[in-house]
A = this chain, B = another copy of it.
């Protein structure tokens, strides 16, 4: 698949996901309106939809069509969006912009932003529990793994470590913990959900899981690099904020060149795992290169 062909694939997937996401929330004018406006505002603020694409691509790698996996793909994006809203709150990172637009609390106020985040997290489980085309026991396993990945020993846990590490010297152990859990937990579980809900074999599950771990860490490192040298026009975020806050990041810890090398190695590892999964994992293979080359 040439890069242009892969970009067309991504575009088609995004379209499919966008339509499913519209169905995944109560309509924007549902009562009470403030909360639904805030939920829609943040969910449709222009995300890349990398996580839901990974859910579908993992299913595809083990020969599942995308449609039955859409509720799970949406659930992950709802959780990702809630985590951004809460992360941006004044008591957390106190960010004014996200993807080039004012953050949720800047538009709707802190109380509504807090509740909109809560509601998106809750809605993820409404959504996932509607995976009607899939065997119930698999859906329950998916719910269990998604909740664990998002919880106090996964994504939320790493936010705690991240907060605690802020301002102090960045220790590589801490940075690796944060990365493995913050972006990492949720990206890893995308691959696992695609596999679990498609009934992947044990060996396939192991490859998908390792792919998720490699690509998740690569994604976080490239994120940290973009924070240093990215372009506001492309990233929609102020650059240099991590450094300003004394965040524990990979480049802060090992230097920009070593960070870039590490991201490259991880993407190569992910590509090799996709290759091992076989021809149906071509989109996962291409995604590994895409993550390495991303500029937004």
Contact = CB atoms under 8 A, between A and B. Distances in A.
Interface of A: 25-26, 30-32, 34-36, 39, 82, 86, 89-92, 109-112, 114-119, 121-123, 125-126, 128-130, 136-137, 139-141, 143-144, 146-148, 150-153, 156-157, 159-161, 163-164
B115 A118 contact: no
Given A92-B114, A151-B119, A35 B125 contact: no
B115 A153 contact: no
Copies in the complex: 2
Contacts of A119: 151-152, 156-157
Given A26-B153, A126-B148, A129-B140, A115 B160 contact: yes
**Which of A26, A89, A121 has its CB near the most chain B CB atoms (within 10 A)?**
A121
Nearest to A113: B91
Contact of A32 (B39, B89, B128, B160): B160
Given A32-B161, A143-B143, A111 B130 contact: no
A89 B115 contact: no
Nearest to A154: B122
A3 B30 CA distance: 44
